[in-house]
A and B are shown apart, each in its own frame.
Chain A
Amino acid sequence: MTPSSTLSQKFGYSFNWIGMIGLSIILFWATIALIAPHIVPHPVGEIVDEDYFGPMSNELWLGSDYLGRDMLSRVLMGARYTVGISLAAVSIACFCGVVLGMTAAVVGGWFDTVLSRVLDAMNSIPSKLSGLVVVAAVGSSISVLVVTLAVIYTPGAYRFARALAVNINTMDFITVARTRGEGIFYMIGSEILPNIIGPILADLGIRFVFVVLLLSGLSFLGLGVQPPYADWGALVHENVGGLPFGAPAVIVPSLAIASLTISVNLLIDNLPKKIRDRSA
């Protein structure tokens, strides 16, 4: 049994240790993102090392980057952008997509048809390209990045939520609610959402990973977070020259991306489950 069995029995939920590991890594990075400016040893833009791609040392725990800047400070500050922008973007995308998807399923008819075709059209535009065009046209700022990423990922979330909601929509309890005369907000919020929340959260986890990767891609092309600041994707990109030397400058941000995306998925696949057999 898991070490949390006594805890889980107290709350009526079972939460396995894989999910707990995921949750603690996410909390760790979220905390870092919040307190980064107070704990960075050196300013992000300051060149502190005479050598580039310096190794780990007592001075510089994670070595230095291609300009001799402190890698630890850059990774800590990068957490802000990666976690913040991606999380904001994915939350907006999923919220809009899921609300629209459920509404389309419940309302049906021409509303569903028009909305689906419009979002399908958006879906057909390559995400990287559209991101590039928008950011190149409007200029890169954090709010532009968040909105662009959210818009790019809304159609996918919409499709997913609509497909799930259409299934639920044919159930008898929806018909019962309809003949009761319930309004649209009650229908989507109270009858449909609780039944699809599990897959929706799993989808959110996957979409979060995509957003992190796209943001890293945009940064790689120089359109993401602007220097001297950098998100983790940009850190990997700018230090990719250190790969032959095995420099920590390229390994550490890669590990950071991996740890965050993997733990988000671990958590979402292992969310606490309510124990149904309560007679134990």
Chain B
Amino acid sequence: MENLAEIRDLKVEATTDSGRRVEIIKGVSLDVAPGEMVALIGESGSGKTTIALTLLGHARTGCRISGGSVRVAGKDMVALTERERASVRGTSVSYVPQSAAASFNPAKRIIDQVIEVTRIHRLMPPDEARQKAVELFRALSLPDPEHIGSRYPHQVSGGQLQRLAAAMALIGDPKLVIFDEPTTALDVTTQIEVLRAFKSVMKKGGIAGVYVSHDLAVVAQIADRIVVLRGGEVQEVGTTADILSRAEHPYTRELLAAFEPKRRVDDDAAAQERKPLLEVSGLLAGYGPVQPDGLPMVRAVQEASLRVEKGRNLGIIGESGCGKSTLARAIAGILPASAGRLVFDGQELPRSARSRTRDQLRELQIVFQYADTALNPAKSIEDIIGRPLNFYHGMKGKARDIRIDQLLDMVKLPKALRHRRPAELSGGQKQRVNFARALAAEPKLILCDEITSALDTVVAAAVIDLLKELQRELSLSYIFISHDLSVVEAICDEIVVMYDGRKVEEITPAQLKTPKHPYSKLLFSSVPKLDPSWLDSLQLDKELVREYGHR
């Protein structure tokens, strides 16, 4: 059988601002057979999106396809002119972007955007195109397929929008669809729906796909073959079952290993009575104008009570919008709570950060999710880490320099990085700097708000190991907020499950297999497993999904 797409010895190079050329894709070859789903997997910077984009004949700004050939349905995308490529895009090859929310025009109705492809390529009359779109909506199991198209993008949920983006890609009857991390931004319970919809549509239409992702478990559900990439080179190619069970390349093994949560060993849990470090009771926080009853209009967190003991970790888990980040902000005093008490280390803590003393601020540090925005891009790493040293401990000159080196050493970063700016570091390095800044304050408790969710699996696992190690050395406590169960499981002694602003259950990792609350059950069973048959065999309670799923 002839291949639908053939990439041969592909090379892509980029030009840096000093005029130096860097080869980012170093001779990659891969095939996609008709109707086959091939996954490209690797960490960020491995070139997976760059390769996927070359199938559309596209290279991002500053990049250039410098060698090799990309044949799609008999045409070499590299050699075509821009006009010829445009005629191929949408009809032979199409693209589903990572963030559907950013790729829909908020000012136009969805249906008009979905059928735009047929209008541009003059494939069929608008009425026929609309009918076809409705069929696709139905095939993608979107609710109310007849009328959903007449809504505007902000009127549908994230998971629905992602499926609508797929409908947009499929309407021109392409032979090959490129999915660029389409479920990465979705919650686990939503992700299942979207994956199922994609899988059934692709199977039914016999359409080939290239699925770009860094999540091996997601890929395991949907792909026939997996291509593992690193540093712009193919490391390993194999069928999904082969890669999962008989991985040969060390990097693939590392990826697989990062998936097995290393449970935290609780050395002397029962041995000694632990003192509470932070006690939160009846906390209520929210946004909007204050109502007559003295509470904010939108209550993002209600009646939250939790307790962190010295040297132990608390995990807070829930989906986006459940109020877990608001809870962290209320504890840190960034968003002062409207009601409730905070007791930190035996002392009552003022609700607002403004009225806390400098020592109280120092002892409770918060680390944010996106290191990109949490580090000032205009300052060097040295200044960023050095500021808390100077501010809280009055360190200057040599003492400060030595301490910065120690801190960089603690988070396992080379000392040479101290003169660089955040933009010159990788994602994992930035998150380490972000963490080193919190450590510089010498806190007792660190609030970690989704600190690993912007990182790749392997890097995230390394960061988690680092946190554990530092905890042993410095007797810290963490409050670990995440939507990723495996991360929380790996580091926390106790887990709080949140839903719709409330705490629904408090469990220990040992009880993870048997959650009591129905929402916890749904959440835990929605986390993808490495088993390729997981998605097909998964039976979710319909009642539960209707009640708690954000579809």
Interfacial residues, chain A to chain B (CB-CB below 8 A): 1, 9, 14, 171-173, 175-176, 178-182, 190-191, 194-195, 197, 273, 275-280
* Minimum CB–CB distance for B373 against chain A, Å: 4
Decide: A178 and B376 in contact? CB cutoff 8 A: no
Of the A-B pairs whose beta carbons lie under 8 Å apart in the complex, a sample of 8, sorted by A's number, is A14-B17, A173-B373, A173-B376, A176-B366, A179-B361, A180-B391, A180-B441, A278-B18
Q: Count chain B CB atoms within 10 A of each CB in A181, A195, A275 and give the residue with the most.
A: A181
Which A residues are CB-close (under 8 A) to B18?
9, 14, 275, 277-278, 280
Decide: B17 and A273 in contact? CB cutoff 8 A: yes
Who on chain A is nearest to B20 by CB? A280
Who on chain A is nearest to B21 by CB? A280
Q: How far is the CA of A175 from the CA of B367 in the complex (A)?
A: 11
Which B residues are CB-close (under 8 A) to A171?
373-374
Decide: A1 and B19 in contact? CB cutoff 8 A: yes
Decide: A194 and B16 in contact? CB cutoff 8 A: no
Q: Count chain A CB atoms within 10 A of each CB in B17, B332, B441 and give the residue with the most.
A: B17
Q: Count chain A CB atoms within 10 A of each CB in B18, B20, B424 and give the residue with the most.
A: B18
Which residues of B, 373-398, contact A by the 8 Å Cβ criterion?
Answer: 373-379, 387-388, 391-392
Residue B152 interfacial (CB < 8 Å): no
* Given A179-B353, A179-B361, A276-B421, A173-B19 contact (CB < 8 Å): no
Which B residues are CB-close (under 8 A) to A276?
16-17, 421, 423-424
Decide: A181 and B16 in contact? CB cutoff 8 A: no
Residue B415 interfacial (CB < 8 Å): no
Q: How far is the CA of A185 from the CA of B379 in the complex (A)?
A: 16
Q: How far is the CA of A172 from the CA of B449 in the complex (A)?
A: 12
* Minimum CB–CB distance for B351 against chain A, Å: 13
Q: How far is the CA of A14 from the CA of B20 in the complex (A)?
A: 13
* Given A172-B370, A175-B334, A280-B18, A180-B388 contact (CB < 8 Å): yes
Q: How far is the CA of A194 from the CA of B19 in the complex (A)?
A: 26
Decide: A195 and B377 in contact? CB cutoff 8 A: yes
Q: How far is the CA of A276 from the CA of B361 in the complex (A)?
A: 35
* Minimum CB–CB distance for B169 against chain A, Å: 33
Decide: B376 and A191 in contact? CB cutoff 8 A: yes
Which 7 residue pairs of A and B lie closest in terms of their CB atoms, listed nearest first?
Answer: A194-B378, A277-B16, A172-B374, A280-B20, A280-B18, A172-B373, A172-B368
Q: How far is the CA of A190 from the CA of B378 in the complex (A)?
A: 9
* Minimum CB–CB distance for B310 against chain A, Å: 22
Which A residues are CB-close (under 8 A) to B387?
180
Which B residues are CB-close (under 8 A) to A182?
391
* Minimum CB–CB distance for A198 against chain B, Å: 10
Which of B353, B370, B375, B378 contacts A178 (CB under 8 A)? B353
Which A residues are CB-close (under 8 A) to B378?
194-195, 197
Which of A9, A179, A278 contacts B332 (CB under 8 A)? A179
Q: How far is the CA of A14 from the CA of B334 in the complex (A)?
A: 41
Residue B358 interfacial (CB < 8 Å): yes
Which B residues are CB-close (under 8 A) to A195?
376-378
Residue B437 interfacial (CB < 8 Å): yes
Which of B17, B365, B375 contacts A275 (CB under 8 A)? B17
Which residues of B, 153-191, contact A by the 8 Å Cβ criterion?
Answer: none
* Minimum CB–CB distance for B288 against chain A, Å: 17
Q: How far is the CA of A173 from the CA of B20 in the complex (A)?
A: 32
Which of A179, A277, A278 contacts B366 (CB under 8 A)? A179
Residue B333 interfacial (CB < 8 Å): yes
Which A residues are CB-close (under 8 A) to B374?
171-173, 176
Q: How far is the CA of A36 from the CA of B489 in the complex (A)?
A: 76
Q: How far is the CA of A182 from the CA of B384 in the complex (A)?
A: 13
Q: How far is the CA of A243 from the CA of B20 in the complex (A)?
A: 53
* Minimum CB–CB distance for B463 against chain A, Å: 17
Decide: B17 and A176 in contact? CB cutoff 8 A: no
Q: A1-B19, A197-B378 are in contact. List 15 more A-B contacts (CB 8 A).
A: A14-B17, A172-B370, A173-B373, A173-B376, A176-B366, A178-B334, A179-B332, A179-B334, A180-B387, A181-B358, A182-B391, A276-B424, A278-B18, A280-B16, A280-B19
Which B residues are CB-close (under 8 A) to A194?
376, 378-379
Q: How far is the CA of A9 from the CA of B18 in the complex (A)?
A: 9
Who on chain A is nearest to B437 by CB? A176
Q: How far is the CA of A178 from the CA of B20 in the complex (A)?
A: 40
* Minimum CB–CB distance for A273 against chain B, Å: 7
Q: How far is the CA of A4 from the CA of B95 in the complex (A)?
A: 43
Which A residues are CB-close (under 8 A) to B333?
179
* Minimum CB–CB distance for A21 against chain B, Å: 21
Q: Count chain B CB atoms within 10 A of each CB in A1, A182, A197, A280 and give the residue with the most.
A: A280
Which B residues are CB-close (under 8 A) to A175?
334, 368
* Minimum CB–CB distance for B447 against chain A, Å: 10
Which B residues are CB-close (under 8 A) to A278?
18
Decide: A180 and B361 in contact? CB cutoff 8 A: yes
* Minimum CB–CB distance for A91 against chain B, Å: 22
* Minimum CB–CB distance for B208 against chain A, Å: 38
Q: How far is the CA of A278 from the CA of B423 in the complex (A)?
A: 13
Q: How far is the CA of A223 from the CA of B429 in the complex (A)?
A: 60
Q: How far is the CA of A277 from the CA of B377 in the complex (A)?
A: 15
Which B residues are CB-close (under 8 A) to A1?
19
Q: How far is the CA of A181 from the CA of B361 in the complex (A)?
A: 7
Which B residues are CB-close (under 8 A) to A178?
334, 353
* Minimum CB–CB distance for B459 against chain A, Å: 20
Who on chain B is nearest to A279 by CB? B20
Which B residues are CB-close (under 8 A) to A191?
376
* Minimum CB–CB distance for B290 against chain A, Å: 15
* Given A191-B376, A277-B16, A277-B17, A176-B424 contact (CB < 8 Å): no
Who on chain B is nearest to A171 by CB? B373
Q: How far is the CA of A280 from the CA of B22 in the complex (A)?
A: 10
* Minimum CB–CB distance for B330 against chain A, Å: 12
Which B residues are CB-close (under 8 A) to A277?
16-18, 20
* Minimum CB–CB distance for B436 against chain A, Å: 13
Q: Count chain A CB atoms within 10 A of each CB in B368, B376, B424 and give the residue with the most.
A: B376
* Minimum CB–CB distance for B36 against chain A, Å: 39
* Minimum CB–CB distance for B518 against chain A, Å: 35
Which A residues are CB-close (under 8 A) to B373?
171-173
Q: Mark B50-63, 1 if CB is under 8 A from A, else 0.
A: 00000000000000
Which A residues are CB-close (under 8 A) to B353?
178-179, 181
Who on chain A is nearest to B388 by CB? A180
* Minimum CB–CB distance for A86 against chain B, Å: 29
* Minimum CB–CB distance for A102 against chain B, Å: 14
* Minimum CB–CB distance for A106 against chain B, Å: 13
* Minimum CB–CB distance for B27 against chain A, Å: 22
* Minimum CB–CB distance for B127 against chain A, Å: 45
Q: How far is the CA of A181 from the CA of B334 in the complex (A)?
A: 11
Q: How far is the CA of A275 from the CA of B358 in the complex (A)?
A: 38
* Minimum CB–CB distance for A221 against chain B, Å: 43
Which residues of B, 289-333, contact A by the 8 Å Cβ criterion?
Answer: 332-333
Q: How far is the CA of A195 from the CA of B334 in the complex (A)?
A: 22
Which A residues are CB-close (under 8 A) to B334?
175, 178-179
* Minimum CB–CB distance for B363 against chain A, Å: 12
Who on chain B is nearest to A170 by CB? B373
Which B residues are CB-close (under 8 A) to A179?
332-334, 353, 361, 365-366
Which A residues are CB-close (under 8 A) to B366?
176, 179
Q: How far is the CA of A172 from the CA of B451 in the complex (A)?
A: 13
Q: Count chain A CB atoms within 10 A of each CB in B16, B332, B333, B378 and give the residue with the most.
A: B378
